[in-house]
Amino acid sequence: MAQPTLAPGDPAPAFEGRDQNGHLIRLADYQGKKVVLYFYPKDDTPGCTAQACNLRDNRERLSAQGYEVIGVSVDDEKSHQKFIEKYDLNFPLVADTDHTIVEAYGVWQEKSMYGRKYMGIVRTTFLIDEQGTISEVISKVKTGDHTEQILAG
């Protein structure tokens, strides 16, 4: 599996997309704040749920360090809304149904499962500083302990 093409020190690609409520989310709206931008394969699957719930449960700790959390997958707004309601998630999930954001961040890649090759999101988190620069790329995400990875960075 290839690594994302972006690295620490690179400018974070500008993006805009609709969240679970149809609101437009733009990276530019977070200028002056630190952002945890995490890409995950699919709503309401075991690993993605563990990761989202870990971030939900530690949102105050992340906020105390100045971080805003934004999740992105290629699921649609309706799927995101169900996922958020089911697990009481407290951050926006962007619906990247046209793959613009996942392509810009280099996380839409060929994957393989049981010998079958397919395209999908490689679970990756980008930490973006107040100036819009990538400060860290976490490509080996521990779904159940993701906040610790972020805060250790």
Give the tens place of pLDDT for each residue, 92-131: 999 999 999 999 999 999 998 899 999 999 999 999 999 9
3: DSSP letter: P
Report the CATH number at residue 112. 3.40.30.10
Q: Are 146 and 40 in contact (CB under 8 A)?
A: no
Which domain, by its residues, includes 87? 16-152
Q: Is 53 one of the catalytic residues?
A: no
Q: Are 127 and 38 in contact (CB under 8 A)?
A: no
Structural domain includes residue 10? no
Q: Are 141 and 71 in contact (CB under 8 A)?
A: no
Structural domain includes residue 140? yes
Structural domain includes residue 3? no
Q: Kindly tell me if the per-residue pLDDT of 60 is higher than 50.
A: yes
Which one of 48, 94, 107, 137 is the catalytic residue? 48
> Residue 122 CB: number of other CB atoms within 10 A?
21
